[in-house]
Structure 1
Amino acid sequence: MSRHIYFRIFGYVATIVLHIGNWYVMGLPKPIHIMADPHIRGYLEMRSRYFTRWTFFLQVFYAVCGLICDGMILKSTNKNYKLPRHLKGFRDTLFAAIVWPSTFLVFTFFWTLYVVDRDLIFPPFLDKILTPLSNHIMHTAIIPIALWEVIFQQRTIPKSHIKNVLYLIFYLVLYLSVLIYTYTEHKRWVYPVFQKIYGTIYFYIVMIFIGLLCIFFYSLQWPLTKRIWGISEKDKKKRKA
């Protein structure tokens, strides 16, 4: 059994504690004068529809899956024990197709707009309820969490990436549907940047760019995985074949 399993377990526990702890802190009651702000009330009303929140919930869910998988490995008395194929496939697909590209999209999209004009993504009124630490947990700490998994979890590079890309596209379309439904329901976009560009060609350009960016981030993980882990025996057999 590789000692990497203990590093993975540490990473999963740290991920759960970090995100759940931050979620708890953000959910603490706010002073009445802050809650009287209509912008704050609007944010709290729609906070479950932010892609950032979806992403850190995904990281927590994946960490729970990882703990279950590694717990099964540690519990087994068979040194050559292998996870059930469907369970391993679900875990690997969830990370590769959804968690990894979503994480890098949140980090890149948020901080790029924040530097250019924070009003487009994180208006100053949010400082009243979100501390800098909470902000960095949601938008910065997610990167080392994803990298930790790549470093300590050996994976086989898929022979075909079509299935993973289709899962990624489905996830993005699902979130876009939530955005559109929210706009239809409240007559405003979750993110201010879309409020500014909606009705122009730039809205569609940005949407297409986000999709292409996610596919780029998906592709980025495999050269990194290969560099860290080298070529697995399964990959060697595929090459020989």
Structure 2
Amino acid sequence: MAKSKRQLREQHAARETAQANTARLETCNDAYTSGAFNYLRFLVHLLAAAQFSYGIYYYLYKLYWPQDLHEEEELKTRWGGKFKYLTFLDVVLQAIYHTVALLNDLFGDNSVTVASKSLLRQLRDYLFATFAFPIAHNVAISFWVIYLWDRELIFPAELDAIFPSWLNHVVHTNVALLAIMDLFTCFRRYPSRLAGVAGNTTFMILYVIWVHIVKYFSGVWVYPLLEVLSMPLRYVMFGGMVGLSLLCYFLGEFINNIVWAPEFKLLQQKKVKQG
């Protein structure tokens, strides 16, 4: 049966729309995977991976507690070392994430696509969404809020002599700033809510358990603030740490959806046309 002129016009219009959408997506990918934008993304990952890796090295091998600290400080230093601090664990996470992102820039896939087949790309997206962004902002927000309220509760003044200011900003400020820069330079799809929230919550709960293990064997809490809080308030704080991490996870997902809304719209239109 011959098609009516109206049907032919509709088919022609749909074909033109699909072609225009494909052209816009190709233009978007060309701009995103090559040229200045590509170099900017690579530079962010290179500088971040180098910065955090050096921060870890300095933290482990160049940072020493003075000999005249209280005995409990020396015990805290011996048991669990630097790995008992969420700050240090976060820097390790950031170094791992940005190294994976850098490898993906070199050998993986950065295109705007519905589902990337690159394992490096999938690992990069999951690490960022679940750990790198929320933990970085958890650390930055909680540290600077407590620091401005009463620094002695989290970073006593006596540490200024052994903990350089640049390292303080690397581990408490730059972790968040570079995560934001990464969010604006890397197109990504967040994992399913179940996978992302489960991974983030599991990490934070394991850290709370680790803090209690350190307390059991060393006799003191990791952070001075925990020493002055009553037991109920202490567990309110632990719950707040987990809750803040989840809040930062949803914040990252929300911002990602806003920043990359045009690209998501193009992909959705392409998916509809193919379906």
- TM-score norm. by structure 1 comes to 0.85
Query: Closer, same or farther in 2 for the Cα pair 1:195/1:29, shift >3 Å?
Result: closer
Aligned to 1:193: 225
The answer on whether the counterparts of 1:69 and 1:83 sit within 8 Å (CA) in structure 2 is: no
- Report the Cα distance in structure 2 between the residues aligned to 1:56 and 1:102, rounded to whole angstroms: 10
Shift of 1:226: 2.4
Match of 2:252 among 217, 221, 225: 221
The answer on whether the counterparts of 1:105 and 1:213 sit within 8 Å (CA) in structure 2 is: yes
- Report the Cα distance in structure 2 between the residues aligned to 1:36 and 1:229, rounded to whole angstroms: 53
Query: Closer, same or farther in 2 for the Cα pair 1:38/1:66, shift >3 Å?
Result: same
- Report the Cα distance in structure 2 between the residues aligned to 1:143 and 1:178, rounded to whole angstroms: 23
Shift of 1:135: 0.8
- Report the Cα distance in structure 2 between the residues aligned to 1:155 and 1:214, rounded to whole angstroms: 20
The answer on whether the counterparts of 1:9 and 1:70 sit within 8 Å (CA) in structure 2 is: yes
Residue identity opposite 1:66 in structure 2: A
- Report the Cα distance in structure 2 between the residues aligned to 1:131 and 1:239, rounded to whole angstroms: 54
Shift of 1:195: 1.6
- TM-score norm. by structure 2 comes to 0.75
Residue identity opposite 1:18 in structure 2: Q
1:89 aligns with 2:122: yes
- Which runs of no fewer than 5 residues in structure 1 stay unpaired? 75-79
- Which runs of no fewer than 5 residues in structure 2 stay unpaired? 1-29
Aligned to 1:77: none
Shift of 1:148: 1.3
Match of 1:107 among 137, 140, 146: 140
1:120 aligns with 2:172: no
The answer on whether the counterparts of 1:19 and 1:56 sit within 8 Å (CA) in structure 2 is: yes
Shift of 1:235: 4.3
Residue identity opposite 2:172 in structure 1: H
Query: Closer, same or farther in 2 for the Cα pair 1:20/1:38, shift >3 Å?
Result: farther
Shift of 1:29: 6.8
Query: Closer, same or farther in 2 for the Cα pair 1:110/1:236, shift >3 Å?
Result: farther
Residue identity opposite 2:90 in structure 1: T
Aligned to 2:98: 63
Aligned to 2:4: none
Match of 1:165 among 180, 186, 197: 197
Query: Closer, same or farther in 2 for the Cα pair 1:71/1:161, shift >3 Å?
Result: same
The answer on whether the counterparts of 2:215 and 2:222 sit within 8 Å (CA) in structure 1 is: yes
Work out the percentage of aligned pairs sharing the same amino acid: 23
- Report the Cα distance in structure 2 between the residues aligned to 1:29 and 1:112, rounded to whole angstroms: 24
Query: Closer, same or farther in 2 for the Cα pair 1:209/1:29, shift >3 Å?
Result: closer
Deviates more, 1:165-174 or 1:19-28: 19-28
Deviations 1:30-58 (A, max 9, x none): 59xx3343466345433221000011111
Q: How many residues align?
A: 231
The answer on whether the counterparts of 1:73 and 1:83 sit within 8 Å (CA) in structure 2 is: no
- Report the Cα distance in structure 1 between the residues aligned to 2:212 and 2:270, rounded to whole angstroms: 47
The answer on whether the counterparts of 1:151 and 1:228 sit within 8 Å (CA) in structure 2 is: yes
Aligned to 2:131: 98
Residue identity opposite 2:199 in structure 1: Y
Deviations 1:131-161 (A, max 9, x none): 1121111101111110111011001245x41
Which structure has the bigger radius of gyration?
A: 2
Query: Closer, same or farther in 2 for the Cα pair 1:85/1:186, shift >3 Å?
Result: same
Aligned to 1:144: 177
1:14 aligns with 2:47: yes
Aligned to 2:168: 135
RMSD of aligned Cα (Å)? 2.6
Match of 1:206 among 237, 244, 261: 237
1:182 aligns with 2:214: yes
